[in-house]
Structure 1
Amino acid sequence: MECEIKLAVDAASAARLKKSAVLREHAVSRPREQEHVDRYFDTGGFDLWKHGFALRVRSAGERHVQTLKGGGSAVAGLHRRTELEAEIGSGTPDQELFSKQLREALPDLADSLDGRQLAADPVFVNRTKRTTWMLALPDGSHVECALDVGELQHGERTTQVRELELEVKNGDPACLYELARRVHETTPVRIENVSKAERGYALATDDKAHAVKATPVSLRRKATLGEALGEILLNCLQQMQANERGVQAGDVESLHQMRVGLRRLRAALAMVEDVVQLPEPMTADIEWLAGELGDARNWDVFLASVLPGLPLAEDQKPALARVEAAAREEAERHRARVRSAIASPRYTTLLLALGGWIAGKGWQHTTLPADPLEQKVAKAAPRLVQHASARVRKRARGYDLKRPECLHEVRIAAKKERYAREFFAALSYDRKAEKRHDLLSGMQDELGEINDAFVARQLVGQLRDRVPQEAGLLGFIEGVLAERALDAMPRARRHVKGRLRDRARF
């Protein structure tokens, strides 16, 4: 199993890394440069890639190495992949070796696929100059450091490759985060969750970035709560990072799903706040990112859900067009802020810090009692879900539900309970629990409409400075939003009282 962190760098940083004091401090060998050509092969229908694997033949001079690589995961830059490799005689795949590798890595696919079905031409080619060092770290870990500068090519399409790989040869993978953090302090880098194979196939298929929703969390019943927490947090980080490409491409839904991933991460930490304390710098950076994503999302909702449904007369539509243009400018300004945020050193620092904290089980190093984290998750999960449910019940019974801010508090509590149920869904087989989850989702949507109306009124207030000549229309919009919220609140109160006041099972 290969375990490495990938860091993307720009041209200036690539040159500086060769002289990096951080890397030279731990180097046990001089940097060695080598040029190689990687050819990636697959069937005509990309059967290997559809199963998450890539077949690579690397040629350096007269030496050729065939590697079947894939599976595993990539979170916070840390790639864990199955890697099977052997030296071969030429730059084209050895069919007998491929069949053997396939049987070991993908036995189900091996029954229907062999080397004869590989296409003769590579899917894409990677031409790279690689500089490598071996590093010995103070904790005894040995790390191979590789700086790759090159180009991926499919036909006439090309894309540049500049990345630093830190692969642990022996030792704790958590050491990679500390090393990456120190490199980042002197030479700005970015977390790279996308492998060269992913980039190459995207080039070959003209694949566009798209929004990625949360995937189910895989948990073992015999795992401790601490181990389960690590898996949950990594799952949330994975969703966040899977949407980075879409956000950078301007996709609105990708921004929404990245925000959902961060919201899930915050909910997971809040769920165990009695025994887990995140370091303050990380907490501050999470709040900063949440603010940037939240502001952008509010404007996207305003444009998609508020303005299109206004009951306007024909003579009001020119004024609406001017208001909408101003709102689109605000939305794009905030999306640009998000793009800048996730390209910033601060974002990379946050991901490296979170990844290192999770990999190093940072919850074991706080002043809070950690004993509950040693419980089996199968025992701890019902308690945590029921605690989240009790918070919903308390707010549904004890709050003044005629006040919109109180309904908003109920909504937030219901959302946290829903996330808790999703985190531990692999451990629950109760049909009533599934119905509770569906109920919470419906209530969140219903209460969310009220919250969206109040947020939209705040945005209308901001537009008064942008289009003061449309004060009349903006006042009308505020009135419509207020009326919508007031109409929805009695129904929401009835549903909260009737559905969320009872105890719920897990």
Structure 2
Amino acid sequence: MIPTEIELKLRLSPKHVADLQCLPLLKSMSMTRPITQKLYSIYYDTPDLHLMHHGIALRLRRVGRHWIQTIKGGGSASAGLHQHNEWEARVSNEQPDFTKITDPNLIRLLSGPQLRKQLRPIFTTDFSRHTRLLQLNDGSQAEFSLDQGKISTDRKKSALCEIEIELKSGNSVQLLEFALVLSRAFPFPLRLENTNKAERGFALYSGQKRPPSKAQPLVMHPDTDLAAAFKEVLQNCLTHLNNNENGLLEDSNSEYLHQMRIALRRQQSALNQFSQALPKDRLLLAIAPELKWLTRQFNPARDWDVFCTQTLPMIHTGFPDHTGINKLKKSCLRLRHKHYKSAQHAVKSKRYLEIMLKLSLWLNSKQLSPQFRSGNPAASLHTSVIPFSNTLLTNQHQQLKKYGNSLTTLSTSSLHSFRISIKKQRYLTEFFITLYPGRESSQYLRSLHELQDILGVINDQAVIKQYLKKIKITRKTTTQSEAIGIILGWVAHQTLLQKPALNRAWISFNKTAPFWQKTTAGKRA
């Protein structure tokens, strides 16, 4: 059996380390006195990071007078909870000892003489670790470690200050429960850490940050039951959100925020759609409004970003020397910066941490009731998800038809509702697409994308009108009034240009057969 390390990681500010060490909660749960160690580790790889690209980290750590060789690989990280395979052995010095490797897959990976010859130190970690053993609520035991120091390559350094709570015995859910209690007891903000020391070190060495991450494709099988499908969808959305969190906080690229916003909307859509079949759940009922709150913190930042980076540059190109537009541009950029900071503040908040922990807690601990609510399309949560997905896709498709059949008479607000319905159907299609193999499902998804993109442009123009009213003009000069008039005129013109494209896209969509009906009919035949 491969040994598995399960731990929860939290990041905190170095200025609050002393406050954490004196926290009464830790003292009340401690089974041992705190122990302080000085830990120095060397991470080996090839110059082109061959091991990293295979999901492997090779570490030599000095503990007192001894060296410990550790190889970590595989596993996952979500909402700060890390699970990895881990192999450890004592070695004689700081050089890798391949005779200590016993796993057949690792032996094959590291057996090549050329690979071994290329292995060299890539980065080091040097930190103090304050450790104590905790007794958790259900009798589970966890090692609580506070690490403070640095990660170093030949040319760069990065500060390190984090908490590791490693499960030693018992139930991993208790790590999440304890983190919730800790976040409420500790008066200063903590952040879930979804990146381990090895990943941070490799990023420091390569100089490459994790780019904005789109949702990973869901692979769902026809025999997947509804309970498992719901958890897979929620986990996929949570991973999508977590993968962009550090980028939002540490980078100016607004695509991270955009992807987090999409992840939240996918998560809310999943909760709304699956709630038609799921028994009422107190924790999920509490989480749903919190996700809406978080989305509201992101909306202004995204809207101002679209206006400043997409709409305004096109207008400015036509009027490069217009004084009013130049002044308006500066005001808009300040508002964009202000709302981006507000979004970052929300992600750093205790409220955000609690939302993430509760979601992860639900995903890792909740056993769904086997009974559907009455009136649903199947009898048990443990039947195949396909009948349920067929019903959802059909109902949402019919909703699209209602909007599309009166497309030429839809008001601006109705077009916005139409766009929301298209997004819901797009998310459903992405959740369930692997249940319906064939090009029909991909073609249907492309048609939805086209409609959503066009309606998105129309919606952006409507949002601009509302946001221009929020710009404070201290002295309403002729040039500033003229600038607003130019923008509103451009917006109206762009909206008119999109209407023929929208009609064409709808006609194309109307010709696309509902792929799930064809698949179901084929199975019956």
State the TM-score, normalizing by the size of structure 2: 0.88
> 1:134: Cα distance to partner?
2.2
- Identity, in percent, stands at 30
**Where do residues 203-282 of structure 1 align in structure 2 (5 Å cutoff)?**
203-248=204-249, 249-276=251-278, 277=281, 279-282=284-287
**Unpaired runs of 5+ in structure 2?**
517-525
**Where do residues 373-412 of structure 1 align in structure 2 (5 Å cutoff)?**
373-397=381-405, 401-412=409-420
Other-structure match for 1:150:
149
Question: For the residues of structure 2 that align with 1:467 and 1:455, how far apart are their CA atoms?
Answer: 24
Question: Given that residues 389 and 503 in structure 1 are in contact (C-alpha distance below 8 angstroms), is that contact kept between their aligned partners in structure 2?
Answer: no
Matched length:
502
> 1:313: Cα distance to partner?
6.2
Question: For the residues of structure 2 that align with 1:93 and 1:300, how far apart are their CA atoms?
Answer: 49
Other-structure match for 1:489:
499
Other-structure match for 2:203:
202
Other-structure match for 1:81:
84
Other-structure match for 1:51:
54
For 1:374, what is the secondary structure of its paired residue?
Answer: coil
Question: For the residues of structure 1 that align with 2:51 and 2:126, how far apart are their CA atoms?
Answer: 22
Question: Given that residues 391 and 413 in structure 1 are in contact (C-alpha distance below 8 angstroms), is that contact kept between their aligned partners in structure 2?
Answer: yes
Of stretches 207-216 and 454-463 in structure 1, the one that deviates more from structure 2 is 207-216
Question: Given that residues 61 and 68 in structure 2 are in contact (C-alpha distance below 8 angstroms), is that contact kept between their aligned partners in structure 1?
Answer: yes
> 1:474: Cα distance to partner?
0.2
1:352 aligns with 2:346: no
> 1:41: Cα distance to partner?
0.5
For 1:424, what is the secondary structure of its paired residue?
Answer: helix
Question: Given that residues 297 and 342 in structure 2 are in contact (C-alpha distance below 8 angstroms), is that contact kept between their aligned partners in structure 1?
Answer: yes
Question: For the residues of structure 2 that align with 1:30 and 1:220, how far apart are their CA atoms?
Answer: 50
Of stretches 325-334 and 370-379 in structure 1, the one that deviates more from structure 2 is 370-379
> 1:40: Cα distance to partner?
0.5
Question: For the residues of structure 1 that align with 2:90 and 2:512, how far apart are their CA atoms?
Answer: 65
- Alignment CA distance shift 1:315-1:296 (3 Å): closer
Output the aligned Cα RMSD.
2.7
Q: Quick one: which amino acid aligns to residue 484 of structure 1?
A: Q
Question: Given that residues 66 and 86 in structure 1 are in contact (C-alpha distance below 8 angstroms), is that contact kept between their aligned partners in structure 2?
Answer: yes
Other-structure match for 2:193:
192
> 1:68: Cα distance to partner?
1.0
- Alignment CA distance shift 1:19-1:91 (3 Å): same
- Alignment CA distance shift 1:365-1:140 (3 Å): farther
1:456 aligns with 2:459: no
CA shift digits 1:308-366 (9 cap, x unpaired): 22388658622211111111111111111111111122211111111112212275599
1:331 aligns with 2:336: yes
Of stretches 176-185 and 480-489 in structure 1, the one that deviates more from structure 2 is 480-489
Q: Quick one: which amino acid aligns to residue 233 of structure 1?
A: L
Question: Given that residues 230 and 361 in structure 1 are in contact (C-alpha distance below 8 angstroms), is that contact kept between their aligned partners in structure 2?
Answer: no
> 1:395: Cα distance to partner?
3.4
Other-structure match for 2:519:
none
Question: For the residues of structure 2 that align with 1:185 and 1:395, how far apart are their CA atoms?
Answer: 47
Of stretches 147-156 and 466-475 in structure 1, the one that deviates more from structure 2 is 466-475
For 2:167, what is the secondary structure of its paired residue?
Answer: strand
Other-structure match for 1:34:
37
Question: For the residues of structure 2 that align with 1:303 and 1:464, how far apart are their CA atoms?
Answer: 16
- Alignment CA distance shift 1:56-1:378 (3 Å): farther
CA shift digits 1:223-258 (9 cap, x unpaired): 322222222222212222221222222111222112
CA shift digits 1:180-218 (9 cap, x unpaired): 000011123110001111111111112235311111124
For 2:353, what is the secondary structure of its paired residue?
Answer: helix
> 1:269: Cα distance to partner?
1.4
Of stretches 376-385 and 322-331 in structure 1, the one that deviates more from structure 2 is 376-385
Question: Given that residues 41 and 61 in structure 2 are in contact (C-alpha distance below 8 angstroms), is that contact kept between their aligned partners in structure 1?
Answer: yes
For 1:310, what is the secondary structure of its paired residue?
Answer: helix
For 2:165, what is the secondary structure of its paired residue?
Answer: strand
- Alignment CA distance shift 1:114-1:230 (3 Å): farther
**Unpaired runs of 5+ in structure 1?**
none
Q: Quick one: which amino acid aligns to residue 232 of structure 1?
A: V
Other-structure match for 1:308:
313
- Alignment CA distance shift 1:115-1:64 (3 Å): farther
> 1:168: Cα distance to partner?
2.0
> 1:93: Cα distance to partner?
0.9
Other-structure match for 1:179:
178
Q: Quick one: which amino acid aligns to residue 256 of structure 1?
A: H
Q: Quick one: which amino acid aligns to residue 119 of structure 1?
A: L
Question: For the residues of structure 1 that align with 2:361 and 2:452, how far apart are their CA atoms?
Answer: 33
- Alignment CA distance shift 1:269-1:44 (3 Å): same
State the TM-score, normalizing by the size of structure 1: 0.91
1:16 aligns with 2:15: no
For 1:151, what is the secondary structure of its paired residue?
Answer: strand
> 1:8: Cα distance to partner?
0.7
Question: Given that residues 450 and 505 in structure 2 are in contact (C-alpha distance below 8 angstroms), is that contact kept between their aligned partners in structure 1?
Answer: no
Question: For the residues of structure 2 that align with 1:49 and 1:204, how far apart are their CA atoms?
Answer: 12
Question: Given that residues 386 and 505 in structure 1 are in contact (C-alpha distance below 8 angstroms), is that contact kept between their aligned partners in structure 2?
Answer: no
For 1:468, what is the secondary structure of its paired residue?
Answer: coil
Other-structure match for 2:301:
296
- Alignment CA distance shift 1:67-1:311 (3 Å): closer
1:317 aligns with 2:322: yes
> 1:302: Cα distance to partner?
0.6
Question: For the residues of structure 2 that align with 1:504 and 1:301, how far apart are their CA atoms?
Answer: 33
> 1:402: Cα distance to partner?
2.5
> 1:156: Cα distance to partner?
4.1
Other-structure match for 1:472:
482
Question: For the residues of structure 2 that align with 1:473 and 1:493, how far apart are their CA atoms?
Answer: 31
Question: For the residues of structure 1 that align with 2:45 and 2:171, how far apart are their CA atoms?
Answer: 34
> 1:222: Cα distance to partner?
3.5
Question: For the residues of structure 2 that align with 1:180 and 1:415, how far apart are their CA atoms?
Answer: 35
- Alignment CA distance shift 1:74-1:401 (3 Å): farther
Q: Quick one: which amino acid aligns to residue 274 of structure 2?
A: V
Other-structure match for 2:522:
none
Question: Given that residues 323 and 467 in structure 1 are in contact (C-alpha distance below 8 angstroms), is that contact kept between their aligned partners in structure 2?
Answer: no
- Alignment CA distance shift 1:222-1:106 (3 Å): farther
